[in-house]
A and B are shown apart, each in its own frame.
Chain A
Amino acid sequence: MTIVVGYVTGAPGEAAVEQALVEARRTGARLVVVNGTRGDAYVDTRFSQGADVDRLRSHLEASGVQHEVRQPLGPDVADLILDAAEEVGADLIVVGLRRRTPVGKLILGSTAQRVLLDAACPVLAVKP
């Protein structure tokens, strides 16, 4: 069994990884952490780098769950998660939710919403 987690730097990402670890321990599944970026700006604060990605890796290592961290680059972060899920044949996708105003959602869209609507497997949405 394989679980795909959408990770971003910050509280929603942490919450998603925590919940995914709980699920992975319960079912003995492999964890695929996807931290994608559009890569079209010089800086993306939700793309995990340096100390943050080190902490994530050591946290996963310490949990003893079989895991993999992917940091793909592509035009749509939701598609990056969905593509990874399709590729590894995920049985579950875990995403973190964050507060988005209606206007913000209209303009910027919501990665979590796209994953919920387009995923081929069950999606677990976690609030921080």
Chain B
Amino acid sequence: MGNIGHLADGFASALTPMNLMFACLGVLLGTAVGVLPGIGPAMTVALLLPVTYNVDAASAFIMFAGIYYGGMYGGSTTSILLNTPGESSSVVTAIEGNKMAKAGRAAQALATAAIGSFIAGAIGTALLALFAPTIATQAVKLGDPSYLAIMVLALVAVTAVLGSSKLRGFISLFLGLAIGLVGIDSVTGQSRLTFGIPLLSDGIDIVVVAVAIFAIGEALWVAAHLRRRPQEIVPVGRPWMGREDWRRSWKPWLRGTAYGFPFGAVPAGGAELPTFLSYVTERRLTKHPEEFGKGAIEGVAGPEAANNASAAGTLVPMLSLGLPTNATAAVMLAAMVGYGIDPGPTLFTSQSDLIWTLIASLFIGNLLLLVLNLPLAPVWARLLRTPRPYLYAGILFFASLGALAVNLQWFDLALLLVFGLLGLMMRRFGLPVLPLIIGVILGPRVESAMRKSLQLSSGDWSGLVSEPVAKIVYALIVLGAVGLLVVGRLRRPTTQEVTS
């Protein structure tokens, strides 16, 4: 197997002292931001995008991967100890986890979350190493029309499936696509949406948009809601598990992994759906139904495993097709573009070393997280005492620095403020951030794929469906859209009956 040889090479380059240091830095940062609600791995990677200017690609991606996995671990700590999810993916963990902590079983809840995350992460990463190269070799054969169809599927699915309001999702998506249009048209040389400002003709740098939406928007939002009643935190010692806890945890871990990975791998997967499904399954299968709602360990073990497995699954479309399906993957993709790497099916052939080093570092980061998190949980919990003004002052500083570093122009700082205000307004009116970011990142690629397809068919619309894969994918989109509409219709009367 060539892939095992590649993976071994990957481990060799990921285990150099320098890269190991970046992996450590990544998991530490990732756990810290995961613990803090409101600050997530996507914002952190966005703030760290400027390091890509002088750190080599492998080291930077090793660090980003550590942040990505670390965020999942940190999020569960906050969920369990504070009943506030640190990350959106650990919402479900809070249901049983905090009950366990209040019943004096915080140590066991943290342990099953950490060990479950480790096992799911390891299995998920192994599956990633197995599937991604295969999918990539198939995907290379796809032409522009098929590729366009798959990207459109991802855009529609991310927007329509996640979040409660489809209208808000699509508003956010189209805002993102519009931002992606700004600049000179690469084919005809016309200026688009530049409002006569020459500085806009190069387009808006994705670093500025990502940092503004994630960091400035969040900082302004927090500033508007600065003082809130502090929450009660459950004090905790070193996490550990008894024999009974192991016995009750291992099956939920594996089932959670089985849910998480496929959901992460399909576009529009995300972690919310599989964690919830895992919770419902564990609730049905448990031998201790009386404990559910009062702190059942299965209700922590399953969703936490699902959460980490879906994080690994998300990397499958990202590495094999260049399709990001969550915010962190989207920002990592922006970093790839920053390095001049063309994300897409050719990654595994053209950037083989980089990709395998990244996959190897995921295994290493996962192990580091387990080793770090079991003894350090009480230390991470102390981070929650940091006053928000200190925290967000730091974030604003790095955000401004990052935006300025793009071109060393004041104009980027002005853009940062404008998009920061947009981010604040999106939070105020409940628009999801993810469709916008994915729209900005995929928009230009969707456009180029569409124009290439149309050029091949000399402007004839039938060129868009000239390949069988494209036809199938468009059929899926139509089926999915009709399905959503039908489900929405069917659901409405029943809810009315319940309320009346």
Binding site for B on A (CB under 8 A): 37-45, 47, 49-50, 71, 73-75
Contact = CB atoms under 8 A, between A and B. Distances in A.
Contacts, number: 53
Contacts of A42: 36-37, 78, 82, 84, 230-231, 233, 384-385
Contacts of B232: 49-50
A49 B229 CA distance: 10
Nearest to A47: B230
A49 B293 CA distance: 22
Contact of A38 (B37, B84, B386, B387): B387
Contacts of B385: 41-45
B386 A41 contact: yes
A49 B82 CA distance: 13
Closest 3 CB pairs of A and B: A39-B227, A44-B230, A49-B232
Interface string B377-414: 00001001111110000000000000000000000000
Interface in B220-264: 226-233
B388 A40 contact: yes
A40 B82 contact: no
Contacts of B82: 42-43
Contacts of A75: 227
A39 B227 CA distance: 5
Given A40-B227, A43-B381, A45-B233, 11 more contacts: A38-B387, A39-B226, A39-B230, A41-B384, A42-B385, A47-B229, A47-B230, A49-B230, A71-B229, A73-B227, A73-B229
Interface of B: 36-37, 78, 82, 84, 226-233, 381, 384-389
Contacts of A71: 229
A41 B231 CA distance: 9
Contacts of A38: 227, 387
Nearest to A49: B232
A40 B391 CA distance: 10
Contacts of B233: 42-43, 45
A74 B228 CA distance: 10
A40 B226 CA distance: 6
Given A49-B232, A50-B232, A43 B226 contact: no
A16 to B, nearest CB: 20
Contacts of B388: 40-41
B384 to A, nearest CB: 4
* Residue of B37, B227, B232 ringed by the most chain A CB atoms within 10 A: B232
A71 B232 CA distance: 14
A24 to B, nearest CB: 28
A69 to B, nearest CB: 14
7 contacts: A37-B230, A39-B227, A41-B387, A42-B231, A43-B231, A43-B233, A50-B232
Contacts of A43: 82, 230-231, 233, 381, 384-385
B229 A40 contact: no
A75 B73 CA distance: 33
Nearest to B382: A43
B227 to A, nearest CB: 4
Contacts of A41: 230, 384-388
A97 B230 CA distance: 23
A80 to B, nearest CB: 11
* Residue of A41, A42, A74 ringed by the most chain B CB atoms within 10 A: A42
A13 to B, nearest CB: 15
A39 B229 contact: yes
Contacts of A73: 227-229
A43 B86 CA distance: 13
A1 to B, nearest CB: 31
A47 B227 CA distance: 13
Contacts of B226: 39-40
Contacts of A49: 230-232
